[in-house]
Structure 1
Amino acid sequence: MELSPSRPRNQTYKCLLLGDSGVGKSTFLRRHATGKFTEQHVPTRGLLVHTVLLQADYQAVALELWDVAGDARHGGLQNGYYFHAKCAIVMFDLSAESSAASVVQWLREVDDICDLQISVVICGNKADLKPMPQKLLYRRHRSIDYCEISARAAWNLDEPLKFLCRRLLNKSNLVLISQPIVKAMPGCLLDEQKIRRRVVDIRKRALPEQNDEMETSTATKSHVIVLN
């Protein structure tokens, strides 16, 4: 199913939406496509594609979002869907440990097929829910960024797209100046300052790229998830 016609490939950047089933990939896409939010989780069957048109301060950018079923029962992700991708959003549920632990596997698939030459944003969704107790860490990498969003609260939804546009256009200070206005669901509240402080802390504690072993005790390791 395609939500909107795709533009010619030479005018778009193909962006993969990856992550376990239920983390909010389709909701993220539909928020950008229609502004709507659905509480009930309906697994993606096959493929959803929607082209998001963004106006940056340097130029207009078109990102073609490819949302593919997150598990084999509903079509699964086939290697062919990675072809011609220029960037990816690897999404996980901030309240679900298993989905965070799966990020490294999704990144491994990207690396196997695309050699991690594409720009990637690790994106924690559902920031409005109680976060998992485990600490999150990631390793610094020239092509990987980290951010958090809430599709339900319509909060920070442009952040992963901004990071990708900066890398695609090689403009580190690029700003998105025009995006659709999306409203939060009634009664959905979150502490933006607390979330932003958490993200800053995660980025500050990022591990060196070449460090294969975390310099922590065994007891501490059990309470830490390394995302990449």
Structure 2
Amino acid sequence: MTYKADEDYDYLFKVVVIGDSGVGKTNLLSRFSRNEFSTESKSTIGVEFATRTISVDDKLVKAQIWDTAGQERYRAITSAYYRGAAGALIVYDVTRHITFENVERWLKELKNHTDQNVVIMLVGNKADLRHIRSVPLEDAQAFAQREKAFFVETSALEAMNVENAFTEVLTQIYHVVSKKMLDVGDDPSAVPKGRNIKIGEGDDAQASKKAGCCSDG
């Protein structure tokens, strides 16, 4: 397969976006990957992909971001969805406390299906709705600290901290992978599956090129 110049990258990392339905996962994804926001969002059905390449320490890091529905009826795709994920954003809505309470369940599911070194970012979305906030900033910070996760509040609508959230996850994944490669004597074959440097031809390569649409998960 021949890649165009703008598709060249040094690393490809799979990142999953999880959380209850309606917290704004898909709009976070579309804001980061295409700088778009849709007020006409519908619930995501199944799985959607988006990709974007950023620079980390002079390396081109391509993110393959997976977005899926938060509804229980789509749980059958769990293992395939998480397989090979090097990072995750667990999203809740700062105006709906139940979505924050459910973060613990999402975190447990994530840890059950991923490598112990998975990079986790807790994301409090819809921070622009300050007047109807129901999740105190301090509570989320304390939870993230306890679980050794990164934390940020975002607004996909206002594009607040969306770039920071994804970039931080990708940067931390890169540092984990770099350290592993040093630990194993710079042998790329020893890097855990899903953190490898490139995907080859076939379904995975095609999947990485599919862009998600503008529905809201």
Q: TM-score, normalised by structure 2?
A: 0.68
- Cα–Cα, structure 1 residues 139 and 94, in superposed 2: closer, same or farther, change >3 Å? closer
Matches within 5 A, 1:63-142: 63-73=63-73, 77-114=77-114, 116-130=116-130, 131-132=133-134, 134=136, 135-136=138-139, 137-140=142-145
Higher RCO (Cα < 8 Å, 6 or more apart): 2
Give, in angstroms, the shift of residue 9 of structure 1.
10
CA contact (8 A) 1:118 1:143 kept: no
CA contact (8 A) 1:110 1:116 kept: no
Identity of aligned residues (%): 25
- Cα–Cα, structure 1 residues 63 and 141, in superposed 2: closer, same or farther, change >3 Å? farther
- Cα–Cα, structure 1 residues 40 and 138, in superposed 2: closer, same or farther, change >3 Å? same
- Kindly indicate whether residue 59 of structure 2 is the aligned counterpart of residue 33 of structure 1: no
SS at match of 1:154: coil
Q: Tell me, in whole angstroms, the C-alpha distance in 2 between the residues paired with 1:13 and 1:50.
A: 12
Q: Tell me, in whole angstroms, the C-alpha distance in 2 between the residues paired with 1:37 and 1:76.
A: 28
Matches within 5 A, 1:205-224: none
Q: TM-score, normalised by structure 1?
A: 0.65
Deviating 4+ runs (over 4 angstroms): 7-10, 74-77
Decide which structure has greater helix share: 2
- Which deviates further from its counterpart, 60-69 or 162-171? 162-171
Partner of 1:60: 60
Q: Tell me, in whole angstroms, the C-alpha distance in 1 between the residues paired with 2:122 and 2:43.
A: 21
- Which deviates further from its counterpart, 64-73 or 76-85? 76-85
- Cα–Cα, structure 1 residues 129 and 107, in superposed 2: closer, same or farther, change >3 Å? same
Task: Specify the code of the residue in structure 1 equivalent to 2:174.
Answer: L
What is the CA RMSD across the aligned residues, in angstroms?
A: 2.5
CA contact (8 A) 1:70 1:76 kept: no
Q: Deviations over 1:150-185 (max 9, x none)?
A: 0000111111122212311228xxxxxxxxxxxxxx
Task: Specify the code of the residue in structure 2 equivalent to 1:19.
Answer: G
Q: Which runs of 5+ in 1 are unaligned?
A: 1-6, 172-228
Matched residue pairs, number?
165
Q: Tell me, in whole angstroms, the C-alpha distance in 1 between the residues paired with 2:101 and 2:147.
A: 21
Q: Which runs of 5+ in 2 are unaligned?
A: 1-6, 177-217
